Amino acid sequence: MGSPKHTWPKLLNVGLTAIKEKHLIFYFLEDKTQLIAEDFNAAGRIKDYSGDYLHISDSNFGGAKSDMFITREVEQEITTENGVVTKTVSISYNNPRKGDNCNLEAGQLCLNGIYRDYVRVYVPKGSKLLSVAGSEVKEQTLEELGKTVFEGFFTMRPQSQSKIVFKYQLPQIDLSTYKLLIQKQPGLDTVKHTITLDGNQTVVDLREDKEVTLN
């Protein structure tokens, strides 16, 4: 508030962009104020949605600050046959940076270490998991926040790549117009999604939550 007034519009735009791209989210103790934040999609809420849905959540279990150096790409391959929708979601991770010395006795700054990722994929409730590739533990399926959730886990060292692939069937949805809501994980940079529906490809650079109509 002590900045010159002519800089306020720029500062406001920075804040609004951070909210839009989910680098800044809010939680309020007062219900009315919290509802306002949710109306502006500023509370990180998992949304109800009648069409196809995807939200990928990565949790770094002890990989220092490796997320600073990891980039992600997602491929969604969708096939429809006799009213049955089958999806294959492939998540690719790349960490090109050399690892740091994370030995505590060395006393050095450990930013880029071994990445231990607990990954959850939120999909429409009632989806049926067919297979998982790339998980180091047995996959799990649960229901949370009105979604079906598939879980996996993998580790990745610096200067390496990893991929985890989930294949599943969706519950019955309206296929007259194929609509997909992708909700971005808060705090991530842009994630490229390549979506293929029955051979037709659409590319989305996911900077914010986005509804996509596929042909």
171, 191 contact by CB (below 8 A): no
pLDDT for position 107: 76
Instruction: Let me know whether 36 and 130 are in one domain.
Output: no
CA pair distance 109, 157, nearest whole angstrom: 17
Instruction: Let me know whether 69 and 81 are in one domain.
Output: yes
Sequence-separated (6 or more) residues with CB below 8 Å from residue 80: 86, 175, 178, 197, 198
pLDDT for position 63: 67
Instruction: Let me know whether 113 and 65 are in one domain.
Output: yes
Instruction: Let me know whether 66 and 133 are in one domain.
Output: yes
Low-confidence ranges of the chain (pLDDT < 70): 63
Q: What are the structure tokens assigned to 162, written together?
A: 């990893």
Question: Containing H/E element for 20?
Answer: helix 8-20
204, 123 contact by CB (below 8 A): no
pLDDT for position 207: 96
Instruction: Let me know whether 27 and 100 are in one domain.
Output: no
Number of domains the chain contains: 2
For residue 178, which of 73, 90, 79 has the smallest C-alpha distance? 79
Q: What are phi and psi of 19, to 5 degrees?
A: -70, -45
Instruction: Let me know whether 80 and 155 are in one domain.
Output: yes
- Collapsed DSSP state (helix, strand, coil) of residue 5: helix
Instruction: Let me know whether 37 and 51 are in one domain.
Output: no
Instruction: Let me know whether 138 and 202 are in one domain.
Output: yes
Instruction: For tokens 């900045």, name the residue.
Output: 3
